[in-house]
Amino acid sequence: MRKVHVAEESPETGASVSVAVAQAEAIVGDIEANLSTLAVLIERAAGQGADVVVTPELFATGYDPAGAWRHDGAAIRDAIAGLARACGIAVVGSTIETRHDDGGPRHYIAASFFSASGRELARSLKAHLFGAAERAHLGTLGYGSVFEFNGLRCAMGTCYDVEFPEFVRHGARAGAQLFLVPTAVPALHHQEPGRGPAWSYDATQTSLLQVPARALENGVAIAYANHAAAGFTAHSCIATPYGRNAALIEAGEGVAVVRVDAASIDAARRLNTYLVDVDRPGLRNE
């Protein structure tokens, strides 16, 4: 069963972006089928009035870090750019980028921002690798840059990146107001024997706790798109700078859209002055 929760929206003021998250099930290795699923999701987001839609991590190949690098990432980026152009909406897609140096090819998980015309405006490489398979087959090159879209300053991350406070703080201090994050969160449950619920862990906490916390402590909005297949947590969300999820897709296939505006970002930062106070004497974080 699919549940989508969307909070009531505030009036539009100034620069704004209607951002969507798309959630669905990918088939590992079946690029044609996965691109067809993406086409449906992207068209649905466009039909709901989104300016940009964020899709899950490595959706076109299926999340398989041990094998995704074997596929042609450049060709997949071209295909996603074509979907953006066909649907007339910007798309954040996740692929493998391959670079060649003296030591041979090196592969990275990349998040790309394609405009509604299909032009790639920005690309950000995953900074924090998750699990043994990613670390065995993929590389990292540090944090990405900030770019502008519809008057808002945006940054991209991938999955595990947003679980590190330093990552989002770095982008916010560079001027980012909106983070666009493809993700693939594996289901994980842990309960300490003989102890109560406070001594348990469920990976859905990333969507329900960590993403809203990163948004609150940096005065940003975060669009976080996950897989819906068995073994993943789903729970794609869009968090506001007030530390709450304005949209949440609990399970199954779906698209949710929220309008993010500069006025609300500014208001949240006036209320919680973390970005100013972190630079006060004795607290500077270089």
Q: Is the pLDDT of residue 4 over 80?
A: no
d(CA 177, CA 6): 20
pLDDT band at 285 (very low <50, low <70, confident <90, very high): low
* Residue % of the chain over a pLDDT of 70: 93
Q: Span 68-86, mean pLDDT?
A: 97
Query: What is the DSSP track for 220-240?
Result: -EEEEE-B-STTB---EEEE-
Q: What is the pLDDT of residue 100?
A: 87
Q: Is the pLDDT of residue 9 over 80?
A: no
Task: Look over the chain and give the mean of its residue pLDDT values, rounded to a whole number.
Answer: 93
Tokens of 160: 């595990």
Q: Are strands 152-156 and 178-182 parallel, antiparallel or unpaired?
A: parallel
Q: What residue type is 54 in one-letter code?
A: V
pLDDT band at 10 (very low <50, low <70, confident <90, very high): very low
Q: What is the pLDDT of residue 59?
A: 98
pLDDT band at 280 (very low <50, low <70, confident <90, very high): confident
d(CA 212, CA 194): 30
User: For residues 56 and 129, is the Cβ–Cβ distance under 8 A?
Assistant: no
Q: Span 95-118, mean pLDDT?
A: 92
User: For residues 266 and 32, is the Cβ–Cβ distance under 8 A?
Assistant: no
Q: Whole-model pTM?
A: 0.93
Q: What is the pLDDT of residue 109?
A: 97
Find the Cα–Cα–Cα–Cα dihedral 56, 59, 65, 70, rounded to 10°.
Answer: -150
Q: What share of the chain is helix, strand, coil (3-state, %, to 5)?
A: 30, 30, 40
Q: Span 249-273, mean pLDDT?
A: 98
Q: Is the pLDDT of residue 98 over 90?
A: yes
Q: What is the pLDDT of residue 209?
A: 98
What is the separation, in whole angstroms, between the first and last Cα of the chain?
46
Q: Span 81-110, mean pLDDT?
A: 94
Q: Is 96 helix (H, G, I), strand (E, B) or coil?
A: strand
Q: Span 220-240, mean pLDDT?
A: 98
pLDDT band at 283 (very low <50, low <70, confident <90, very high): low
Model confidence over 11-62: pLDDT tens digits?
445 899 999 999 999 999 999 999 999 999 999 999 999 999 999 999 999 9
Q: Is the pLDDT of residue 84 over 90?
A: yes
Model confidence over 177-204: pLDDT tens digits?
999 999 999 999 999 999 999 999 999 9
Q: Is the pLDDT of residue 5 over 60?
A: no
Q: What is the pLDDT of residue 282?
A: 63
